[in-house]
Amino acid sequence: MTQLHFNEATYQCEAGESVLDALTRQGVAVPYSCRSGVCQSCMMQSADANVPGAAQHGLKSTLQAQNYFLACACHPVEDMTVCLADSSDKLLQATVSAIRPLNNEIMCVGLDCPSLQDYRAGQFINLYRDAGFSRSYSLASVPSDSYLRLHVRRLPDGRMSNWIHDELKIGDNLYISAPLGSCFYLPGAEEQALLLIGTGSGLAPLMGILRDALNRQHAGEIHLYHGSRDTAGLYLVEELRELAAHYSNFHYTPCVSGGTATTGCQTGRAVDIALAEHPDLTGWRVFLCGNPNMVKSARKKAYLARAAMNDIYADAFVAAVN
């Protein structure tokens, strides 16, 4: 057992317990979302130089040097003095500028954030309802858009998603983090074929990646497979079909896994259909977004189809713990 010194109080951390679990178990309000070291919502800072290396995985070297760490991934081996990361210069104020339904369970939320000067299409932000409560959402927009676009899927017990669907209004102000994540399009290999596979609201980052690639005049073939259990779960179908009609190198395939597909859709799982149509991914760049089980399976299948590991980019939508 180790001790955590936080805000002039001392808390016990059981063997094998993370800093986040220890503090929240004892009633301390610490921002968090995914609990898996991805979203970086739970970043804290240590006054000591004894931060376990695993707790700093994914953080910039400048943050590591200042003893910042992810509370969900930090399992102390000795006593630590910790504090919340000073977010005053990291959080950005945003105003809700648009709200529109994309289907029965997914809402597009537009955010105007003048202080966000640049980002990579396909990255994600942490959206804060209050200082201790945030969730991660991928960006469906590109930097040239007039506002940020999020695709928010309503979850049955989702505290954030239900609040967004039922209470958020145009004109409301809230705070977001700077963009995070490495699943985005990089120019420089314009002839390379791109394979994009997503499920549910995993279409959000893929829309950003797709539009960014097209805006940069990517010349290689681009294939997007979007999957859902039924046709009601698909969305932006007409917009994607219009893009496919306008760009000869872009091909869009909506997929339905749980029933009979309508005209223009294929029946089956998006990853299975994509790999059946493209069994050899040598030299391809692959983007996988959505359900974590799909992403895990698709990553393995893409690698077995000869895609280079460095050319496989993934954004698994890990469900937050309420």
pLDDT of residue 216: 95
- 132-181 pLDDT, tens digit per residue, is 788 999 999 999 999 999 999 999 989 999 999 999 999 999 999 888 88
* pLDDT band per the 50, 70, 90 thresholds, residue 88: very low
**Greater pLDDT, 170 or 90:** 170
SS3 annotation, the chain: CEEEEECCEEEEECCCCCHHHHHHHCCCCCCCCCCCCCCCCCEEEECCCCCCHHHHCCCCHHHHHCCEEEHHHCCCCCCEEEEECCCCCCCEEEEEEEEEECCCCEEEEEEECCCCCCCCCCCEEEEEEECCEEEEEEECCCCCCCCEEEEEECCCCCHHHHHHHHCCCCCCEEEECCCECCCCCCCCCCCCCEEEEEEHHHHHHHHHHHHHHHHCCCCCCEEEEEEECCHHHCCCHHHHHHHHHHCCCEEEEEEECCCCCCCCCEECCHHHHHHHHCCCCCCCEEEEEECHHHHHHHHHHHHHCCCCHHHEEEEECCCCCC
- 16-28 pLDDT, tens digit per residue, is 999 999 999 999 9
Q: What is the pTM of this model?
A: 0.79
Domains of the chain: 2-84 (3.10.20.30), 92-176 (2.40.30.10), 194-316 (3.40.50.80)
